[in-house]
Amino acid sequence: MASPLFQPLYQQIKGLITKKLISGEWGPGEAIPSEMEFAAKFGVSQGTVRKAIDELASENIVVRRQGKGTFVATHNEEKVKLRFLRLVAADGSKELLDNQLLSFVRSKAPANVARMLDIKPGCAVIDIKRLLLFSNKPLILDHIILPALTFKGITSEQIDEFNGSMYRMYETQLGIRMVRAEERLSAVGADIEIAAQLNLKSGSPLLRIERVSYTYDDKPMEWRLGYCLTDDHHYLNHLE
C-alpha cells in the first residue's frame, strides 16, 4: 500500500475525515461540516474536499442531501436499515419481518472465521443463531459470529428484545457501525438441521450467503452465514 505521503491530496483529506468519524466527532445521522468549512480547516480547495466527500458518499459512509448538506450514513433510517438484507419477494410485495433467537453462546473462533475477522484462532467470540421470518414464514437461518472483546456488552436478551436489524442494534446500542460488507453466494442443499429449522425436506435447494461486515478503516467486525429459501423470493442487488 502506498505511503500517505504519496497519496493524492483528496485521499489524504478523506483519511482525515474518516479518522474524525472513527473518533465519533459526528454520530450516525448527524450533519458533517460543509465543504467550505473543511477546505478552510485543512487548507485545501473546495474541489479537493468535494472529491474526498464524493468518495465517502460512493462508499455509503456519508449521504448527500440536496439543499440540506452531508450526513453520516446510518442503519437507523427506515429506507436503509435493511441495506444488507437483499432477499425480496418475487412479486415485489412488502413483508412483515420478524426474527427468533435460537441460540446465544460464548465460544472460541474457528480458524476459518478467525482469519476473516482478523483475530487469532481460538479467540473468544459470541456465536449467535437466529431465524428470520418474512410474513411469519421462516425464510433465513442466520449464523453470526462476533469478536467477544468488541461486543462484550451484547446480551441474548438485548437481541431478543430488539427484534430488528442487527446492524441497527450494533449502531444504536453498542456504537459499532458497519459501513460495508463482502458476500460469497453459492447454491446448496439443506442438511437435516437446516431443513428442520426452515420446515423443509432434507436436500431442498437453498441460497448460501457468507458475509463479512466491516466498520471504518476496513476493520472486519462480523462474520455471518445465511441459508435462504428462494422458492418465492430472490436476491436483489443494484449495480452501479
Mention every residue, 6+ apart, whose C-beta is less than 8 A from residue 39. 45, 46, 48, 49
Please give the grid coordinates belonging to residue 33: 461540516
What is the band of 112 on the pLDDT scale with cuts at 50, 70, 90? very high
Q: Report in angstroms the alpha-carbon separations of 89 from 17, 200, 209, 232.
A: 38, 18, 17, 6
Distance CA 46, CA 50 (A): 6
Residue type at position 5? L
β partners of residue 220 = 214
What is the band of 1 on the pLDDT scale with cuts at 50, 70, 90? very low
What is the band of 81 on the pLDDT scale with cuts at 50, 70, 90? very low
Could you write out the DSSP letters of every residue in 146-186? EETTTTTT--HHHHHHH-S-HHHHHHHHH-----EEEEEEE
Residue type at position 177? R
Please give the grid coordinates belonging to residue 73: 450514513
Selection from 68-82, 90-104, 161-175, 200-214 with the highest mean pLDDT: 200-214
Sign of CA dihedral 63, 8, 221, 19: negative
Q: How many residues does the chain have?
A: 240
Around 72, how many Cα atoms within 13 Å sit in the side-chain half-sphere? Answer: 23
Conformational region of residue 46, where left means phi above 0, alpha means psi within -120 to 50, and beta covers everything else: alpha
Tens-place pLDDT, residues 135-147: 888 899 999 999 9
Where helices occur in the chain by DSSP H, the ranges are 9-22, 35-42, 46-58, 111-117, 156-162, 166-174, 192-197
What integer pLDDT is reported at residue 72 of this predicted model? 87
Indicate if the pLDDT at residue 193 is higher than 80. yes
β partners of residue 127 = 105, 145
Tens-place pLDDT, residues 156-191: 998 888 777 888 889 888 888 888 889 999 999 999
| Cβ atoms of 100 and 201 closer than 8 Å | no
Angle between helices 35-42 and 46-58 (to 10 degrees): 120
Indicate if the pLDDT at residue 87 is higher than 60. yes
**pTM for the full predicted model:** 0.77
What is the band of 77 on the pLDDT scale with cuts at 50, 70, 90? low
Please give the grid coordinates belonging to residue 154: 451484547
